[in-house]
Every structure is written in structure tokens, then in C-alpha cells.
Structure 1
Amino acid sequence: MLSQQIIDQLQPYDFDRLAHKEKDGRRRLRLIALAHLKEGKSCSEVGAALRVTRHAVMRWVQWFTAGGVARLAGMPHDWSTQRLAKEQEEAFRQAVEQLQRERGGGRVRGEDIRQLLALRFGVAYSLNGVYDLLKRLNMVWISVRAVSPCADPVAQSEFKKKLLHPGARRIAPEHCA
């Protein structure tokens, strides 16, 4: 049951009229919930009537008591402020390409890029968020295998010459025969 102080806070508002004018469905539902509470229904009854949990109704009451009707729009999300700024996207693209060039062997992983974003750009991304960012910037995160530091280009060239020599007998792979 709601305290008398909360019920008194609800009295000056015409939640039915506010809900009727509201275009956002989530906010409208919250206003209807408060209208039911103002009529004396419990949070459980309101939750059952609106097909939400009583905890959701109690959370909406807390939001209302903390910030009034304007607060019913919802909670601001922390992750919306953690995004890479549009102005930094080109610098980020160059930093990833530089990281790939500096890598002697192996490839740049999503975790490497996540750490780059945190240290160099001051934004915290999840691993999935990193991949979403790369996709949004049309960067392919799966790259070709880098050249091994142990590779011998001369030996590879000689191997290719012997393999493709016109007089050499070619053996068809088993799966093609």
C-alpha cells in the first residue's frame, strides 16, 4: 500500500487527461498506472490490470516522487554517453589501421580494439559494442592472416616457381579426381 504522502502527491494531477494527450506508449502506460493508484488501487492490482509487474509500478511511483511527471519518461542510459563521438570516428579508423600495421604477427582482436577505445578515446565499449561500431563504420574486423615474422619470402618464391613450373607434373588433389 502506498503511503499517504505519496497519495497526496498524486492528487493535484489529472493523469487520465495527461495519458490521453501522451504520444509515447510507455509513458502513457505509466500515467495510467498513476491514475489507478490515485483512485486507491494497490500496486499489485494496477500491475495485474496493466499486465506489468508490481515492481514496475513501484519503480514508476519512485520516479514520479523523485522528479514529477517529467521523470516518467524513463531513466537516462549510461551507455548513451559512452559512445565514440562522430568527430573521432576517422581518428579511430586510422588508429585501428595503425594497430594492424604495427602488429608483427597475428591479427588485431576485438579485445585489442576495446582496449584502444578505452585508453586512447576514453570510451568504454563491450566486446559486442566494438563489433557493432566496426560494422557501423564499414570496417571488417575479420582480417586476412598477417604475414608471419618467421616467413621467408625468398623460400616462398622458390616454392611457387617449382610448383608452377610448366614441365612439372601436376598431381590433381584426391577430391577432384
Structure 2
Amino acid sequence: MSRCTLASASRVVIPVLAMLASGAVHPALAQGSERPPGPTQQDQLRSIATAANSQLRDQFRKKSAPGWAAMFTPDATFVELLPQLKVMTGRAEMQRHIEEVLASNATDFIPTVTTANMTRAGTFEAGGDYTLVVGNKIVPGHFLQVFRQEGGAWKIAYFIFARPQPVTQREANTFRGN
């Protein structure tokens, strides 16, 4: 090849290679250089709920019923569906329930948030599974929480849960009609 032909070829090849590298020729060729999509709203809400539940776990492990109750709105509703139906309203009732759970030799609360969805402005719901470690037993359960934004912070306004086994003495006394 002559020098003239090489120079002409390089004038064509170099711009074509530059266009290919930038993805200007075909968008499919540029896909490798695209940024992955950012977190979705559900991902962000799941992260908020996971962080809040991690704080609940920390308070539980510290045996701090007041610290646990502080994670909720002042008017929060706490609903136990199983092993007995019990509706508790406000932080004081919630705190008493957690004190009963802690008195039953419960040493850990391990929540796992599996879903989160915005319900309306300033409110979202999150759900998942949890386990309580009580003595040498692991007691599984499920939960649904409704978070509400108050003063720039997300607080739990509703906590609905169910577990198949009684944990507190009161639950054991009323379980299956005892």
C-alpha cells in the first residue's frame, strides 16, 4: 500500500472508530457505556424501612422498651393478630407490650423488610418477616408497617404483626382458650 492510500484510509477509519466508541453509529453499541439505572422509589423506601427496623432491633437488644416506643408516632397503633388479637394505641401501650416480651426471656428481634410501597404523599407501607429469639427457641412472624413522615423523619404509625406461638405470659394464658 502506498503512503497516500494509508493516509486516506486513516482519515476514514479513525473517525469511524471514534463514532463507534461514542455510540453515535448505533445505540445498541453504546449500551455498555450507559450508567446502570439508579435506585427505584421502592428501593429507597425499603432502605428507609430497613434502617428503621435495624434501630428497632438495636433498642430491643438493649432491652430498651422506651427506645423501641420512640420509633413510633405518638398516636401509633400496634396490632397483634396472632397468637391473640390485641390492639394497642399509643407509645405507652406499645412500651408495656415490649416490656412483657422482653420479660419473657426474648433476647433478639430480627426483622427483614421484603417490600415497601408509597401509599400517598408522606406515607408508605413496608412488610416482611421477623424472628424473635426467646430462650433457645426461634419464633417466626410476619409484619406490615405504615410509616408516616413527621418533622422530617419517618416514624412508624401502624405496626401489624402475627406469629404462630405465644411469647408473653399473658399470651400463653389465653392461647387456644386457656
Structure with the larger strand share? 2
TM score, norm. by length of structure 1? 0.25
TM score, norm. by length of structure 2? 0.25
Structure with the larger helix share? 1
Larger RCO (alpha carbons 8 Å, 6+ apart)? 2
